[in-house]
Amino acid sequence: MGEDASFCHPLRSTIPHMSPESSLRDALLATFSFKAFRPGQEEASRAIFEGRDLVTVMPTGFGKSLCYQLPATLLEGTTVVISPLIALMKDQVDALKEKGIPAEAVHSGMPESERDATIRALAQGNLKLIYAAPERLGSPRFQRALARAGVTRMIVDEAHCISQWGHDFRPDYRRLGPLRQQLSVPAAAFTATATPDVRADISVQLGLENPLELVTGFERPNLTFGVRQVRSWADKERAIREVLAEWGSPGLIYGATRKSVEKWADFLAARGLRAACYHGGVGDRQREAVQDAFLSGQLDAISATNAFGMGIDKADIRFVIHAEIPGSVEAYYQEAGRAGRDGRPSLCLLLFAPSDIRTQEFFLAGSNPSPALFRKVWSLLANETPEGEFEVPGELDAAQRMAAATAARLLRQEAGRRGIPPGNGPLPLDLGPRHEKAARDRRRLDAMLSYAFGQGCRTHFVYDYFAGSATGGHTPNCGTCDVCLGWTKGRTRPLEDQEFETVRIALSGVARLDGRFGQERIAQLLTGSRSHELVSRNLHLLPTWGRLSSLSLSQAKDLLSALVDGGLVERRRIQGGPAGAFVLALTHLGIQTMKGELRPAIAFPNWQKTKRGAGSSGTKTSQTTKTRTQGSGPGAHGLAPGAQQRDVEAFERLREWRGMEAHRRRIPAYCVLTDATLLALADTRPANPGELLEVPGIGQAKLKKYGTKLIELLERLP
């Protein structure tokens, strides 16, 4: 991009002589017909209005565009908005024109005559906002039009794309730094997903000066974020059926592979829904038709890979289910956050099977070739055909073949940039940044696994992940995620003598393996497995081998999960190990319990009774069905076996009241109170507000809404 003195415009005319607060609020109502700002919008708008550099993280659908459109209407000159999403540009330009604001977009999808007219209008200074894709910045004609337009602010949407640390790095965004310098204007970067490292890199790439960092909008009380641990495809089908019954449509199911996406589309169709699949292997026209049908309401649900969603603006999505774990918190939150933009209750559910981690490990290996593979592929590129094909060594497995294709693509790009023949001379790629990228990708997956395994508030986790030291306020426990609502933990209760002994044996098994093995191996030890993995390590000689042989392997895993939930056992990441590799180790609380010094109340699994009982040396039961004592997700319910009839009747009366309340408020029953909370109410019978607040799932908001009615109802119960 050549130097041009006409690029530089003095800022004196762009700093308005008026009160920012009053001007912005007046324009908010007069131009956009909004009476109040959403959280973070006023701070971001004021920073742009006053000419301060800005980096803002705000979830998709939370009103990022208003933050720069509003000050643009008050500033002299033109605001240039860089965005990679053509559909979104079109929608925003149409909306601005309806409000009488002169705005246009220039992109590859428009007729040449229309593009010429837009560039002329830009050069003549007739536009308040001009939207452009980053690729457009390479056009000399567009550069000249910007130089003459009188640009006063530069806005970068999807700004994580500029960062080598981001999850969607796009080299064309690297033009923005030089452009910002030549325009000599303040810049604001917006994204829905940027960690502190990414925000710092965005600031460096754009050359921002002491930018305000604002992270906000993660408080979305209408969304219920949840994680449901599953072990099989049948478990996933069961969970999705429950979601469909309780939350209705429209909805999205995200899968990690094309194969699983197609299977979920068939599953949805078999249940009578108008469904379709969307992934990279579907033709462009079909993908566009599926997207349009979903947006227009002709489809009830879509199953899709992460290829679907960028720029999608559908307000009434009732659920977003991730049927396999995604590769990062950034990707997960951006996709899940497409639910409930109309403000009505919606579900964001991750179905987490630890075995699914292998799929993400495959993608990690395929997108991060080793230095040795880079060198091997570089030598092979010297013999590639004119069609750009080369012979991949036959000894490579599927992940390595994918990595070889990644290496070939990157090496061809770098060779083309340098103007050298592929495969000739020394390796043209600096492998240092590639090593850093591989480490970052692994850290992202580890963070996603921490979310899936986590026992704390989901909203709090996401906010802490993105916020760092940025402003925007501290997010308290949300009160609406699965953890805050009590999905993830069974109804804790004191342990019976035999259960306490079973827990101590299980804890002893964990201690014997001394933080060296994970759940599978410890469960095998406790149940007396003679697997090669145990016998080859002489683990069958340990005193705890087979001490819980009355349990099935599945039941032993359930018990270990309950000990983790109860804080007696912790998962520890294996340093340098594969993603998702965790070992189990005792906590201080677990050590005290193992020694018999403490007898905590935990959510002990309620299995059907075996003939000889857990902890004995009898044969395993063939009945492995577990009845939960509280909700573990949508549709889960039921009292513990042996509950008194008085509690059963109270629970049913409470459910009847909840159903009427949900109908009156037009929300799902689960959003009133969970089954777990109803069970606790039936059991404890709180008689005043203070006692109600001690019931899991009832906070100040629930107390204010339902407290008086609940106390009156509980007083009338038998």
Residue-wise pLDDT for 124-161, tens only, equals 999 999 999 888 887 888 989 998 988 999 999 988 88
Check whether residue 32 and residue 116 sit in a common domain. yes
Rg (Cα) of the chain, in Å, rounded?
29
Interatomic CA distance for residues 116 and 296, integer angstroms: 32
Query: Is the model's pLDDT at 402 over the cut of 80?
Result: yes
- Quote the tokens at residue 517: 């093995």
| 3-state DSSP of 256-269 | CCHHHHHHHHHHHH
Share the mean pLDDT of the chain.
Answer: 83
Interatomic CA distance for residues 80 and 72, integer angstroms: 9
Check whether residue 368 and residue 468 sit in a common domain. no
Per-residue pLDDT band for 203 (boundaries 50, 70, 90) equals very high
Contact yes or no for 43/117 (Cβ under 8 A)? no
Look at residues 533, 503, 540, 535 and name the one whose alpha carbon lies nearest to residue 518: 533
Per-residue pLDDT band for 54 (boundaries 50, 70, 90) equals very high
Check whether residue 466 and residue 404 sit in a common domain. no
Interatomic CA distance for residues 288 and 179, integer angstroms: 33
Q: What is the DSSP string of 107-122?
A: -TTS-HHHHHHHHHHH
In a domain, 478, yes or no: yes
Interatomic CA distance for residues 310 and 61, integer angstroms: 11
**Residues near 92 by Cβ (< 8 Å), separated by ≥ 6?**
65, 69, 103, 105, 131
Check whether residue 22 and residue 53 sit in a common domain. yes
pLDDT at 637: 37
Q: Which of 161, 194, 215 is the last residue of a domain?
A: 215
Contact yes or no for 117/111 (Cβ under 8 A)? no
Check whether residue 18 and residue 111 sit in a common domain. yes
Which of 15-29, 43-57, 335-349 is the least confident region?
A: 15-29
Structural domain range at position 475: 223-352+454-485
Query: Is the model's pLDDT at 612 over the cut of 50?
Result: no
Residue 653 belongs to domain with CATH number: 1.10.150.80
Interatomic CA distance for residues 290 and 284, integer angstroms: 10
3-state helix, strand, coil in the chain (%, to 5): 50, 10, 40
If 0-12 CB within 10 Å is exposed, 13-18 middle and 19+ buried, where does residue 685 land? middle
Check whether residue 117 and residue 261 sit in a common domain. no
Q: Which of 174, 192, 215 is the last residue of a domain?
A: 215
Check whether residue 232 and residue 309 sit in a common domain. yes
The total number of structural domains that make up the chain: 5
pLDDT at 696: 80
- Number of CB atoms found within 10 A of residue 13's CB: 12
In a domain, 603, yes or no: no
pLDDT at 611: 35
Check whether residue 345 and residue 469 sit in a common domain. yes
- Quote the tokens at residue 200: 């710092």
Interatomic CA distance for residues 108 and 374, integer angstroms: 34
In a domain, 637, yes or no: no
In a domain, 446, yes or no: no
Query: Is the model's pLDDT at 305 over the cut of 90?
Result: yes
Contact yes or no for 218/86 (Cβ under 8 A)? no
Summarize the confidence of residues 34-60 as an average pLDDT.
90
Look at residues 548, 471, 538, 480 and name the one whose alpha carbon lies nearest to residue 508: 548
In a domain, 687, yes or no: yes
Check whether residue 185 and residue 110 sit in a common domain. yes
Q: Which of 594, 629, 664 is the last residue of a domain?
A: 594
Q: At what angle do helices 233-247 and 258-270 cross, to 10 degrees?
A: 50
In a domain, 274, yes or no: yes
In a domain, 540, yes or no: yes
Residue-wise pLDDT for 533-581, tens only, equals 899 999 989 999 999 999 999 899 989 988 887 888 988 877 666 656 6
- Number of CB atoms found within 10 A of residue 669's CB: 18
In a domain, 606, yes or no: no
